[in-house]
Chains A and B, each alone.
Chain A
Amino acid sequence: MAKSDVMNSNHADTRTVMATCPACGLLCDDVLVENNQNKISVLANGCAKSIAFFEQAAGNTTPRIAGEPATLAQAVAKAAQILKAAQKPLFAGLSTDVQGFRALYELAQKTNATLQHMNATSSQRNLRVLQSSGWQMTTLTEVKNRADVVVCIGTDVVTHNPRFFERFIQQDGMFIGAEQRETIFIGENIKKNDALERSSLLACRASNLSEITLVLRALVLGKKLKVTQVAGINTSDLQAVADKLKKAKYAVLAWVAKDLDFPHAELTIQNITETVVILNQTTRAAGLQLGSSDGDTGANYANTWLSGLTLSEDQAIQHDAVVWVNSFSPEKNPPDSGLPTVVLGNPNSRPASEPDVFIPIATPGLDCSGTLFRVDGSVTLPLKKLRETDLPTLSDVIRKIEAQLG
């Protein structure tokens, strides 16, 4: 099949499209999907996450007020009423694309709301490093074409980004063949990836990663250690990793902030990024942040250019209403806050407790077009509308709410 996103009319009711998948931060845009009588199925280049995303049911398009079916106008009026009554609402979840985020940002300005993405805690781990020391990073096409040694720290990557190795490591690049690459995993609960040639694992507890990355940083700097073991790993094994990094032409040190789920994980990330800085004094190396979901990268970027500041974690402000947005992930529920709650959500959402208002919205990349940022931040891709729906977009709903705020 030719790689093209041209819609081929194979059959009156069937068409195939090359779609962009928003289910993880890689934004694979080579996923071949078929629309057969408005039902989407993945034909090629799917993964478990993308199949779950593209093949999700159309869902119920009826809004609800306190669990009872309502018209869109009624639900919008109720949502506007909640926002009008609130002094300091929290807009959370924020699982949407750039266009949806722009609309949310404007509504937040008008309603004095705080914005907080569902991935804020893990995003903060990275941002703290960026804002403390900066970093030296790379992007996926550079990895595919240059990386000769890839170290994955505290993560198997594939749990978050299923096709990472298939698309970027097990491929021949411009300057390196797939079989010449070496992959090293350091961490806990890392599944052996049998498809990877020349891969190795240094097993350790996640809670020890801070110490291990600090030692690796020291070894790369040329420090000699007297101890023979660090947190259960032989110093000689870490020395071997350090030597490989120093010899590499383009070493890549990757991590997933969500997997570094322990206190002060930013110090572990900083050990990784400062190791890269040391390597770059003599050879070439780069950091690579992976993971990402629910439009977190784009929400953070857009908030930054719109306001001048990154999205932050909740500053323990007392809120008096919650607006929850979960376009991409029906399974992600609003916090159980006890506050008046409006959900602008994926139609397949099953909130644990029924919100005051539920308005099902179109999912970008499935029900409507959109724009999303890839996890490496440098690539922004269009999302396509793949099926017909009556659902309004998030921006449509927000415009209607704004119109009622007066």
Chain B
Amino acid sequence: MITLLKNGKLYDPAHGIDGVVQDIYIRDGCIIAKPNAHEKITQAYDLTGKVVMAGAIDMHSHIGGGKVNIARMMLPEFQETKNYSEPDAHVCTPNCSHNATPSTTDTGFRYIEMGYTAAFEPAILPINARHAHLEMGDTPMIDKGGYAMLGNDDYFLRLLANRADQKTINDYVAWTLAATQAIGIKVVNPGGISAFKFNQRRLDLDENNIHYQVSPREILKSLSTAVHQLGIAKPLHVHCNNLGAAGNFETTLNTMGASDGLPMHLTHIQFHSYGTEGDKKFSSAAAQIAEALNKNKHITADVGQILFGQTVTASGDTMMQHLNAKHANPKKSVIMDIECDAGCGVVPFKYRDQNYVNALQWAIGLELFLSVEDPWRIFLTTDHPNGAPFTSYPHLIRLLMDKTFRNGAFAKLNLDAQAMSNLTSLNREYSLYEIAIMTRAGAARLIGLNDRGHLGIGAAADITVYTDQADREAMFSKPDYVFKDGELVVKNGKVVKVVWGATHTAKPAFDHSAEQGLKEYFEKYHTIQLDNFKISDDEITQDGRGQVITHTNKS
């Protein structure tokens, strides 16, 4: 069984291929070298004139687990708008269910219909990991994976407060990755979720958690060192302190220095790039943040672009979500403290282009995209669903690739916000090659998915084929073909075959004697058995739907 994709124009940045016409051969789900003349080609697709890229990878999207499900439960009205059109508010693909909290089925279908073949849940509470995997297991079509949250759990904070050595921290981090079947480590408002449980309302980078007397900087240092020393590919995923607060850009700039040069990824950085200039004391600090990102080669970031319309914000950051709950629209929210592990805050939001702050948030995101020079270190996200549903990616891609379209959208914004942004002076237009870096090659490299995000020999045949159109939104909304592990699963933007995808994990080795401390902690303070905390491979692969892929450590 050999499938031939003939004459497509390839954009494969992992191999420096920028719009070169080349054939691709697929066998057993993988890309292979050109077979011998006597080997039979079972199926061929003529892709003359078509754009071919690896399947796209969303490296940060809240697709599974407690928070999103709470959002679904709280917001039944989101489901009722399924057939309701909001042309001026909500921009999305032709198949979009107009829904910031799609069901697991819709999630998989909407992703694959746009040519995305993998998405990573960025905030798995370790205690909630089993739930997250259950949901991801019910998400068809795409590959999945997640980042486990540490840095607000009492076990880690006790270690840090007691000046545990780095090896102890490393063992705990590696144990957590294995127990939760995750591929990376995330920290949300380092120390802040815990601090909120002790009634502390704000926490700055060098301020101490009032109970543990450790600072976010110390937490970041400890966790980024652990991730680095364990050899996990994915750098520590950091949601900085002070999310959404005017003037928070200084915290963000300082955070870049917290790891002493070790790799860190700053997520949804748009929400962390705010200054305090102007009459409204809220301004863009995108220029400062972009300059720092350009300089600090050890830092990567994703944007967390906002787009206008109804959505819901779902975050582990209880401290800041509790503060933001007064802006909830519709007026309801959920704040939870969870299991001495972390917490969650779910606050619905409606971003409006005539609202000064929202309009400026939109512009700040785009300013960041256009000012960060290296597309390998900046990633295309809306922090789904926090900035906008992931279904708006094609629209966002057009904003990046089409200056006229972008400036037209800018001209409709709140006028005070327009006066505070330099967006129209940024002439950059992303190329297809750069889009392929941000959404494919760069994302795969960042997470450590060696056989994804590229079209080289040996790669998994996750491949998306588009018709080259001047309207990039139309182009990226509806691929001609999507292949998942070599199988044709989407034709003309519609799913033609249902597949289930794999779960990507990383499991660096650790000293199993480290479990003794955990065992004592669980018996004394927890409410479940340590052994029940751990998720077996069987739990993910049951029902015959999924498989667990474990990526070996980098280098």
Chain A residues engaging chain B, CB cutoff 8 angstroms: 3-5, 18, 20, 29-30, 98-99, 102, 127, 130-142, 144-146, 167-168, 173-175, 249-250, 280, 283-284, 286, 300-302, 304-310, 371, 373, 377-382
Q: Is B218 an interface residue (CB 8 A)?
A: no
B99, B131, B523, B542: the one within 8 Å of A380 (CB): B131
Given known contacts A130-B74, A132-B332, A371 and B134 CB-to-CB distance under 8 angstroms: yes
- Do A381 and B539 touch across chains, with their CB atoms under 8 A apart? no
A3, A99, A141, A382: the one within 8 Å of B525 (CB): A141
- Do B332 and A308 touch across chains, with their CB atoms under 8 A apart? no
Interface string of B522-555 (1 = CB under 8 A from A): 0101111101100000010011000000000000
- Do A378 and B74 touch across chains, with their CB atoms under 8 A apart? no
Give the CA-CA distance A134 to B539 in the complex, in Å: 32
- Do A139 and B338 touch across chains, with their CB atoms under 8 A apart? yes
Given known contacts A146-B197, A371-B134, A378 and B336 CB-to-CB distance under 8 angstroms: yes
Give the CA-CA distance A306 to B140 in the complex, in Å: 11
Chain B residue nearest to A126 in the complex (CB) = B73
Q: Is B491 an interface residue (CB 8 A)?
A: no
- 10 interchain pairs (CB within 8 A)? A130-B334, A131-B76, A136-B322, A136-B336, A250-B197, A300-B73, A305-B103, A307-B103, A380-B130, A380-B134
Give the CA-CA distance A324 to B257 in the complex, in Å: 60
Give the CA-CA distance A171 to B80 in the complex, in Å: 46
Chain A residue nearest to B125 in the complex (CB) = A378
Which A residues lie within 8 Å of B341 (CB)?
141
Give the CA-CA distance A141 to B125 in the complex, in Å: 14
Interface string of B200-223 (1 = CB under 8 A from A): 000000000001000000000000
- Do A145 and B334 touch across chains, with their CB atoms under 8 A apart? no
Given known contacts A249-B199, A378-B66, A301 and B131 CB-to-CB distance under 8 angstroms: yes
Given known contacts A139-B338, A146-B197, A301-B69, A18 and B131 CB-to-CB distance under 8 angstroms: no
Give the CA-CA distance A143 to B130 in the complex, in Å: 21
Which B residues lie within 8 Å of A308 (CB)?
72, 78-79, 99, 101-103, 106
- Do B131 and A373 touch across chains, with their CB atoms under 8 A apart? yes
- Do B339 and A131 touch across chains, with their CB atoms under 8 A apart? no
Give the CA-CA distance A139 to B339 in the complex, in Å: 6
Q: From residue 314 to 371 of chain B, which have CB atoms closer than 8 A to chain A? A: 322, 325, 328, 331-341, 346
Given known contacts A136-B335, A142-B339, A308-B102, A284 and B199 CB-to-CB distance under 8 angstroms: yes
Give the CA-CA distance A118 to B131 in the complex, in Å: 23
Q: Is B138 an interface residue (CB 8 A)?
A: yes
- Do B340 and A98 touch across chains, with their CB atoms under 8 A apart? no
B73, B138, B337, B526: the one within 8 Å of A102 (CB): B138
Chain B residue nearest to A30 in the complex (CB) = B529
Give the CA-CA distance A146 to B79 in the complex, in Å: 37
Which A residues lie within 8 Å of B211 (CB)?
175
Give the CA-CA distance A5 to B105 in the complex, in Å: 35
Which B residues lie within 8 Å of A132 (CB)?
332
Which A residues lie within 8 Å of B130 (CB)?
371, 380-382
Chain B residue nearest to A5 in the complex (CB) = B531
Q: Is B468 an interface residue (CB 8 A)?
A: no
Instruction: Identify the interface centre among A18, A127, A377: most chain B CB within 10 Å of its CB.
Output: A377
- Do B103 and A5 touch across chains, with their CB atoms under 8 A apart? no
Chain A residue nearest to B134 in the complex (CB) = A98
3 A-B pairs with the lowest CB-CB distances in the bound complex, closest first:
A134-B332, A308-B103, A380-B130
Given known contacts A145-B340, A167-B527, A168-B527, A306 and B199 CB-to-CB distance under 8 angstroms: no
Interface string of B87-119 (1 = CB under 8 A from A): 000000000000101111110000000000000
Q: Is B416 an interface residue (CB 8 A)?
A: no
Chain A residue nearest to B529 in the complex (CB) = A29
Give the CA-CA distance A138 to B337 in the complex, in Å: 5
Give the CA-CA distance A140 to B101 in the complex, in Å: 27
- Do A304 and B523 touch across chains, with their CB atoms under 8 A apart? no
- Do A137 and B529 touch across chains, with their CB atoms under 8 A apart? no
- Do A145 and B525 touch across chains, with their CB atoms under 8 A apart? yes
In the assembled complex, how far is the CB of residue B525 from the closest CB belonging to chain A, in whole angstroms? 5
- Do A144 and B527 touch across chains, with their CB atoms under 8 A apart? yes
- Do A99 and B543 touch across chains, with their CB atoms under 8 A apart? yes
B103, B199, B328, B334: the one within 8 Å of A135 (CB): B334
Give the dominant DSSP class at A's interface. Answer: mixed
Q: Is B451 an interface residue (CB 8 A)?
A: no
Given known contacts A141-B525, A142-B340, A302 and B72 CB-to-CB distance under 8 angstroms: no
- Do A379 and B197 touch across chains, with their CB atoms under 8 A apart? no
Q: From residue 17 to 31 of chain B, which have CB atoms closer than 8 A to chain A? A: none
Given known contacts A30-B529, A284-B197, A133 and B332 CB-to-CB distance under 8 angstroms: yes
Give the CA-CA distance A169 to B407 in the complex, in Å: 60
Given known contacts A3-B529, A144-B525, A380-B128, A127 and B337 CB-to-CB distance under 8 angstroms: no
Which B residues lie within 8 Å of A301 (CB)?
69, 131
Which B residues lie within 8 Å of A380 (CB)?
128, 130-131, 134
In the assembled complex, how far is the CB of residue B136 from the closest CB belonging to chain A, in whole angstroms? 10
Which B residues lie within 8 Å of A306 (CB)?
103-105, 138
In the assembled complex, how far is the CB of residue B151 from the closest CB belonging to chain A, in whole angstroms? 17
Instruction: Identify the interface centre among A98, A283, A308: most chain B CB within 10 Å of its CB.
Output: A308
In the assembled complex, how far is the CB of residue A196 from the closest CB belonging to chain B, in whole angstroms? 18
Give the CA-CA distance A98 to B137 in the complex, in Å: 12
Given known contacts A102-B543, A141-B526, A305 and B532 CB-to-CB distance under 8 angstroms: no
Given known contacts A136-B336, A141-B525, A142-B340, A302 and B134 CB-to-CB distance under 8 angstroms: yes
Chain B residue nearest to A286 in the complex (CB) = B337
Give the CA-CA distance A179 to B70 in the complex, in Å: 35
In the assembled complex, how far is the CB of residue B533 from the closest CB belonging to chain A, in whole angstroms? 9
- Do B527 and A304 touch across chains, with their CB atoms under 8 A apart? no
Give the CA-CA distance A250 to B135 in the complex, in Å: 32
- Do A310 and B103 touch across chains, with their CB atoms under 8 A apart? no
- Do A379 and B543 touch across chains, with their CB atoms under 8 A apart? no
Which A residues lie within 8 Å of B198 (CB)?
249, 284
Give the CA-CA distance A98 to B130 in the complex, in Å: 11
Q: Is B266 an interface residue (CB 8 A)?
A: no
Give the CA-CA distance A98 to B64 in the complex, in Å: 15
Give the CA-CA distance A301 to B64 in the complex, in Å: 12
In the assembled complex, how far is the CB of residue B224 from the closest CB belonging to chain A, in whole angstroms? 26
Q: Is B443 an interface residue (CB 8 A)?
A: no
Chain B residue nearest to A4 in the complex (CB) = B531
Q: Is B127 an interface residue (CB 8 A)?
A: yes
Given known contacts A130-B74, A305-B72, A137 and B542 CB-to-CB distance under 8 angstroms: no
Instruction: Identify the interface centre among B64, B79, B198, B339: most chain A CB within 10 Å of its CB.
Output: B339
Which A residues lie within 8 Å of B125 (CB)?
378
Which B residues lie within 8 Å of A377 (CB)?
66, 70
- Do B527 and A140 touch across chains, with their CB atoms under 8 A apart? yes
- Do A145 and B529 touch across chains, with their CB atoms under 8 A apart? no
Which B residues lie within 8 Å of A168 (CB)?
527
- Do B103 and A134 touch across chains, with their CB atoms under 8 A apart? no
Q: Is B374 an interface residue (CB 8 A)?
A: no
Chain B residue nearest to A144 in the complex (CB) = B527
Chain A residue nearest to B128 in the complex (CB) = A378
Given known contacts A30-B529, A144-B525, A308-B101, A283 and B199 CB-to-CB distance under 8 angstroms: yes
Q: Is B154 an interface residue (CB 8 A)?
A: yes
